[in-house]
Structure 1
Amino acid sequence: MSVQYKFLVLGPMANHNELPGGTTVSFSVFLDKLKKNNIDFEVINTNKVNYKYKGIALIKIYWLFFQKLRKSSHISLHGSDKDYIYLTPVIVFSSKLLGKTVSLRKFAGSFLDVFENLSTPKKLLVKYALSNSNINFFQTKYLIQYFKQYNNNTFWFPTVRNRPNIIIDREKVYQKRFIFLGHIHSEKGIDHILEVSNLLDDSYNIDLYGPLMEEKYNNIDWERYKNIAYKGSLNPSEVYSVLFKYDVLLLPTYWKGEGYPGVIAEAFSLGIPVISTKLEGIKEMVDEGSGILIDVKNVEQLKNAICSFNDKNYKDFSKSALENFEKFDAEIKIDEIIEQIKTIL
């Protein structure tokens, strides 16, 4: 990338007082890759949690944008549902007015439902932004199929993660160690994991990691459940080393906003197969060899999936999971994205 180009990148950065979520991790990975590629850029943080006065955070973001716009060559927005409603129309209009190129990247996989339920004025504004940006990126393929009607320059930008600096043991012995890593919330399938733990024999081990997001989990009596333990939250630097100790990732989620969960990509990077649900985005991530998909809220299927792993088939599952990670490898995928952006500069 020539030094004559300067990127203005807008996206969510982690708050120092909170553990980072999937979107902040994904955005951080993108910024790290820009640095590695020696691309000149400035960042505007769109995570309103980071602003002292959240009520006027949007005004502050607009102010920073207009302040930096003229000195930038390319504007790159990495946005949530609300960002696409309240930021993208202004960003696209202003950037095009000054002859700047614009790329839009949508996090998560629920935007189609949000879009279809927008009021007519808001829907028209989002259509304007999508139609007039130079290039659009969506996290899931089913969103690409729908939104490509507004702009042919619409491409796939999946959740990506860095490949961990860990030597993968391809002869790893299956030991019935299962892990859930994410928000401890009912819509992530936690209640079903708790229920299934009492249906398994004592040879199984299930550990839960993540922040407690609902009050009912603060006072839970863990002694009621066999084979299961809550291990607290992890710092980002601990994720890979902890995941590596387990055999299978459990994610029986039915969270409405689920797209491509980053924890699945992280598990694949370590050769760890997945048990998850048949949500649209997850079906695109997990193929038949790299994991097992079940219906949402189905404890019997969850139990059967857990019991499906054994000494004979585990190595094949692990191998497929590791191979599947290539689609979500930041080193590969972000280079492809940068090359696509180059075509519009």
Structure 2
Amino acid sequence: MLRILLIGPLPPPIHGTTVMFQQITRELEKRHGVKICVIDTSRKKSEFGCLENAVVAVRTTVKLLWFVTRVQVLTFHASATAALGFSPVVHSISRLFKKPWVLRILGGNVDMVYKRSSRWARAIYRKTALAADLCLFETRLLMKYFENICSSEPKFFWNSREMPTLKSLNEHRTVCRKFVYIGNVKYSKGLKEIIAAGEQLSRNYIVDVFGPFQEGMSERDFDGLNIVKYRGLLHPDDVVEKLKAYDALLLPTYYEGEGYPGVILEAYAACIPVIASNWRSIPEIVDESSGILIEPKNTQMLLAAMKRLTSDQKFYRLLKRGVLEKRKLFSVEQRVSAFIEYCNKLISRRVKL
């Protein structure tokens, strides 16, 4: 029996890191021969700020000390900032109890956080977080950046999603007229550009937006619009089903923290193509076979891409066939199997030592 401790943030709140951590815990719970213990590091009441951070850190440390003798491997799933804050504790306890540990960075901006950190903060990163027995990065861009900084060889562990069977999908739709954005509703995700481009379409088309407001945006930004409509919140478990009702996903983001956006993988799960920004690591998962890449903050390129999908049915069908191939690469079952293999190898290596 493989016994794994998973430390990371569970919903609520709902955002990329909590959803990714919840996915791996759910999938591991289904696996025979695997027993998991989970420590939730999520902050539930953000208004308490530093005080709650301290409470979460103390609670997590106590639970870690309780579980460490009951498991074979420790795994810490964290954003770039959380990794800096708590990795010293995980690293110290793993070495004290002679347990291997894995750091999985959630999100795509750890390189930028590392660059902006002080000399002392980077030293802490190298001596603790990046000294884990195994570091898992979400994108090739990050893996390449840290390959000569990590103490051990970093591994590429990309984002993933459950992929419904093809029989449950409406992959036969051949006309594009309904666009959707799902995610945090904020300027850095390209909402200004979506509104500007969408309002230039005729009334035959639909552009719907779902998600929580951030960066000062509100429902007032959608007042009086003819095409682009705000439709409220979605639970993460409902995203793929909602995407099936649309023809293409819009993600003209320039958000600094983008890794492999989960909503793109959910679009693949729903078998619809993507219009996304040529930004950070997005070109690693969106190419000419499954979508259209545009330059960030470029409303006219976004509008042109939307019009191409609506007017060129042959091209749209070609993209949908490409999505069917892309979706095979991002199965959560495949990724969790790889995670289990990584853990088993670390344990075997430690036993030999």
TM-score band by shorter chain is over 0.9
Counterpart in the other structure of 2:350: none
* Structure 1 residue 337, shift from structure 2 partner: 2.2
Q: Deviations over 1:35-71 (max 9, x none)?
A: 1113111111111226986142222222221222222
The answer to whether residue 344 in structure 2 is matched with residue 342 in structure 1 is yes
TM-score (norm 2): 0.91
Contact (CA 8 Å) 1:327, 1:333: kept in 2 or not?
A: no
Counterpart in the other structure of 1:43: 38
Q: Deviations over 1:130-150 (max 9, x none)?
A: 453211100010110121212
Contact (CA 8 Å) 1:184, 1:211: kept in 2 or not?
A: yes
Cα separation, partners in 2 of 1:50 and 1:220, compared to 1, 3 Å:
closer
Counterpart in the other structure of 1:11: 8
Counterpart in the other structure of 1:266: 266
1:132 and 1:164 map into 2 onto residues whose CA distance is 37
Write the mapping of 1:1-345 to structure 2, written as runs, cut at 5 A. Answer: 3=1, 5-15=2-12, 18=13, 20-38=14-32, 39-49=34-44, 54-55=52-53, 56-149=55-148, 150-164=150-164, 167-223=168-224, 225-309=225-309, 310-345=312-347
What secondary structure sits across from 2:346 in the alignment?
A: coil
RMSD: 1.8
* Structure 1 residue 221, shift from structure 2 partner: 4.8
Contact (CA 8 Å) 1:270, 1:322: kept in 2 or not?
A: no
Unaligned runs of 5+ in 2: 348-353
Sequence identity (%): 28
* Structure 1 residue 14, shift from structure 2 partner: 0.3
Using the TM superposition, name which of 60-69 and 254-263 deviates more.
60-69
Contact (CA 8 Å) 2:84, 2:129: kept in 1 or not?
A: no
Contact (CA 8 Å) 2:186, 2:217: kept in 1 or not?
A: no
Contact (CA 8 Å) 2:137, 2:155: kept in 1 or not?
A: yes
What secondary structure sits across from 1:240 in the alignment?
A: helix
Q: Deviations over 1:100-154 (max 9, x none)?
A: 0111100111111111121222211111124532111000101101212123431
Using the TM superposition, name which of 155-164 and 58-67 deviates more.
58-67
Give the residue type in structure 2 aligned to 1:40: K
Contact (CA 8 Å) 1:278, 1:295: kept in 2 or not?
A: yes
Cα separation, partners in 2 of 1:336 and 1:186, compared to 1, 3 Å:
same
Using the TM superposition, name which of 308-317 and 169-178 deviates more.
169-178
* Structure 1 residue 74, shift from structure 2 partner: 0.5
Contact (CA 8 Å) 1:248, 1:272: kept in 2 or not?
A: yes
Contact (CA 8 Å) 1:131, 1:151: kept in 2 or not?
A: yes
What secondary structure sits across from 2:89 in the alignment?
A: helix
1:221 and 1:142 map into 2 onto residues whose CA distance is 36
Unaligned runs of 5+ in 1: none
* Structure 1 residue 81, shift from structure 2 partner: 1.5
Q: How many residues align?
A: 338
2:140 and 2:234 map into 1 onto residues whose CA distance is 30
TM-score (norm 1): 0.93
Contact (CA 8 Å) 1:8, 1:43: kept in 2 or not?
A: yes
Q: Deviations over 1:253-275 (max 9, x none)?
A: 11111111100000011211100
1:103 and 1:209 map into 2 onto residues whose CA distance is 34
What secondary structure sits across from 1:280 in the alignment?
A: coil
Greater helix fraction, Structure 1 or Structure 2: 2
Q: Deviations over 1:81-111 (max 9, x none)?
A: 2221111122112202211011110011111
What secondary structure sits across from 1:312 in the alignment?
A: helix
What secondary structure sits across from 2:5 in the alignment?
A: strand
